[in-house]
Structure formats: structure tokens, C-alpha cells
Structure 1
Amino acid sequence: MTSPTPPPPSSAPSPAGQDPHDHAVRAASFDRDADVYAQVRPTYPRDAVAWLLPRGARRVLDLAAGTGKLTEVVVGAVAAGTEVVAVDPSVPMLGELSARLPDVSTREGTAERIPLPDGSVDAVLVGQAWHWFDAAAAATEIARVLRPGGLVGVVWNVRDTSADWVARFGDILHRGDALEPVEAEPRGPELGAAFDAVEGATFRWSDRLPPARCAPSPARAATS
């Protein structure tokens, strides 16, 4: 979590011929499995979100909101009357978000081109998505849309690899994956001179998937 200094301010197969390890191709893959993402990805601890949010926030942006995993926690944590806005480049992901959170305003956009006016939000939150951004361009855009004294908060879920089966699961999931290496302690975002020094905190928690969220549909099971 940090505040700006004073002014100046899926696993689905990729289409034929595309490199499945290409950054842009991987980012676009979320469009194809938005419903699965909504079912199985973990949410975020409310304590962490409450720590990220500034007091008296009137408008909060969830940037790269996806299907609304973080958005839902933000909605439950903000004071009554606070507006929550969700921005994501994927229309299918935003569709899943709107189905679950119909009162949240959504915008199609990216971290490098945020579709909001200058100085229009009190906080920008990013859940498990900073590695998809052009860090320099995103930091500039985030500083632009924040009001003076506003905050940007970046949150990650990190697997507890002290449990043997979790460590082995992570090794399998990221085997040969150079884009998203497993990190016990994710590095803080590179925000540049427009922001104060980054603060950090760790919150231990668990998210359990009930069997209904783990079972594939018959169609997916037949084609997997």
C-alpha cells in the first residue's frame, strides 16, 4: 500500500499458431474461461482489504477486477455510500462480475489506459494482477486517477508451501512456467517517483473450495 506524493502528480488451449507462453496470449485466455475462474479462484481476506482501504474513501477502483473476487470483499468492507468501480479488459470477466455484483459500476479498460477522469478515486486496489501490467505506464495512470492523498493497494494470495501437498501442487502447476514463477514473498509494485515508499503487511488465512466448486462440468470432463 502506498500513496502518491504531491503533484506533479487459463489453461485452455490457445488458438492455432499462437505461442501459449506469450504474455498477450495468456492475458487474453481469461476470456475463454471466465465462468471457471469465478468458481475456483480464491477470494481475499477482509482484514487485508480493510488495511488497504483509506478512511473516508468515497470512491474505490478495483483495477483488473476480473470476475470480482476482490471487488466483492471491497463492497463488504467499505462504508455505506462508497462507490466501487471495477475495470478489466475482459468483457466476459466483467459479465461474471456484474452477474454477482449488479450494483457495482464496470468499465472495460486496462491499467495502462484507465477509463476514469483525473483525480476521481480515493483508492486503487489490484488483486493478483500486477504482473500483467506495464508497471511504468500503470503507475502513471494510477497516479492520474487518484485524488490527492489517495492510496494504491496491491494484494496477492500466496500458497502456504509449508504443507507438503501444497508445495507439490505449486510445483506441478508452475512447471516450466517462466512468466509467473512461484514466489514465497511477492515483490512490491514498482511505482516510481510519483508515490511514497511502499508499506507491506501479511495476513494468514485459508479459503476452502467445497466439492461443488471443484467438480468439472460433464462437457469439460469429456474434452479435458
Structure 2
Amino acid sequence: MDQDEHRLHASSFGAAAVAYAEHRPDYARAAVRWALRPAPGPRVLDLGAGTGKLTAALVALGAEVVAVEPDPAMLTELRRSLPAVRALPGGAEAIPLPDASVDAVLAGNAMHWFDMAVAGPEIARVLAPGGVLAGLWNVMDDRAEWVARLARVSGSAAVGPRDTSASWRAETAYTHLPKDGTATRFGAPEQAGFPHGQRRTADSLVATLATRAGVLVMPRRERETTLDRIRAFLASRPETAHGEFTLPMLTGVLRVRRL
């Protein structure tokens, strides 16, 4: 993906902010706890916070959370659902916080949008010594045969290589961490995956996949064709054709310490 396409995908979510808030899954609580475990204190920045899916989990665990999100529509949804949370406009490349002001920086399904050449020093700047940087990704568990087939039927725009359990490690391990000189400010990366699931119907799963960046930027006719193909597949499967089902997922975590 070239830089222009990357920017287009990264900026696509605001138009679907309400649907994103309704249909995107939360994060496995055990995954959030693991991400935070080495942090030296309770102050957490949710960076690229979107509509607050990860923010809500952090609040539930008792963290002192500041949320930063660049898209105004996503930020509006976050403030609506979590009015007590301090929520600021900003991005990973220009974080509106003082030096060493947080003990952990977490990013839920967002780190792959950061320009780490710029964001890496910014994250290091706001982290206290010994602080934690962690990316969390909700991925479909394609060890289930029907989920693996759904991924193939959906196409990479709706279910990309980072969105399935078989490949998220390779896609995230070393491609979305601070590089070059900034890398010396962080320790060795650690990864872990935590079982998760989301109750869906065929319609609500289609609505979830429709909030993926690759689908949001499609021309209307192509988007409709893609979603119709997914709908037909779900209608053909005994696991998904009738009523509610659990979409098998993992919350994958990539974690590094600030040196």
C-alpha cells in the first residue's frame, strides 16, 4: 500500500463512526491486563482511541485514562459514550501531552496506521521510564474452518492478513514498532494472544466487516458486491445461517518496555 492509499484508508473511519461504535468488538479483558502488567503506574494513554472500545476496557480496569483521537467524528462518539474520560484531539505523530506524563501507551487496532518514524519518538517522549507501549488487535480465529473460509470469501479488503489469527503475528511483530534510533529506547518485543469472541448475527457480522477501511474506501457498487458475497456465504453455513452465533476471535497483543 503506497502512502496516499495508506492515508486514505486511515482517514476513512469518521464517515462510519456510529456504525464503528455499534459493531466493532471490545477487547479481551485478559489481553488488556497483560498489556498493562509491566507498567510502573496507572496513567494510560489510549492512542488512536477511535470510539473508545479500548478506552472502556481500561476504565473498567481502574486505569487513569487519557484518550487521543485525530478524527472528529470518532472523538464525538467516544465523548458521547464515555463522558467522564479526558478525550483530546491529536495523533500519534503529535501527542498533546507533556513529557513522561503516562505510564503506558496502548493502541487498539490503530498502531498500523501510525508513522512510526515520527510517532516512535513522540511515544517515547510521553512515556515515563519503564513505561509500556502495547498494540492490541482483535483478529478472527481462523482455526475454525468456517472462519477461514469466510476470510477467503470476504477478500483482503474486508479481512486482511492482519485480521486473522494465523497471520497477525507476522504482520505486526516488527513492522509496527519504533525503528532506527528510536528502537534503542525500547526493549525487546513480546507477543501474546487471548481467546475472545463476539456475539453476532449474519447481518451484524456483515455490518462489522463493512466498517473495515478497505471496504469503506471501495466504490459503492464494489462494496455492495463484496458485502452481498459475504451475506450469501453466511446464509449457506449452518454455523451462521440462523440467529445469533459467536464469532471466534483472539485479542493479540504486541508489547515493549520504554528503557
- Give me the TM-score of the superposition, normalised by structure 2: 0.68
Q: Distance in 1 between matches of 2:31 and 2:186?
A: 21
Tell me which residue corresponds to 2:58.
74
Q: Distance in 1 between matches of 2:160 and 2:115?
A: 15
Tell me which residue corresponds to 1:26.
9
Unaligned runs of 5+ in 2: 208-223, 225-259
Q: Give aligned-pair identity as a percent.
A: 47
Give the match's secondary structure for 2:134.
strand
Q: Shift of residue 204 of structure 1?
A: 1.4
Superposed CA deviations along residues 162-203 of structure 1, whole A, max 9, x for unmatched, are 22221122223333x499534242422322111011122221
Give the match's secondary structure for 2:198.
coil
One of 22, 34, 37 as aligned partner of 1:39: 22
Q: Which has the higher helix share?
A: 2
Superposed CA deviations along residues 93-120 of structure 1, whole A, max 9, x for unmatched, are 0111111111111111111111111111
One of 154, 172, 179 as aligned partner of 1:187: 172
Q: Distance in 1 between matches of 2:68 and 2:75?
A: 8
Unaligned runs of 5+ in 1: 1-18, 217-223
Q: Distance in 2 between matches of 1:205 and 1:178?
A: 20
Q: Distance in 2 between matches of 1:195 and 1:58?
A: 19
Tell me which residue corresponds to 1:89.
70
Q: Shift of residue 27 of structure 1?
A: 1.5
Give the match's secondary structure for 1:151.
strand
Give the match's secondary structure for 1:197.
coil
Equivalence map 1:1-224=2 (5 Å) = 22-53=5-36, 54=38, 57-78=41-62, 82-175=63-156, 177=157, 180-182=160-162, 183-185=167-169, 186-188=171-173, 189-191=176-178, 192-209=183-200
Q: Distance in 2 between matches of 1:172 and 1:58?
A: 43
Give the match's secondary structure for 1:202.
strand
Q: Which has the higher strand share?
A: 2
Aligned length: 195
Change (3 A) 1:32 1:178: closer
Give the match's secondary structure for 1:118.
coil
- Give me the TM-score of the superposition, normalised by structure 1: 0.78
Q: Shift of residue 212 of structure 1?
A: 8.7
Q: Shift of residue 76 of structure 1?
A: 0.6
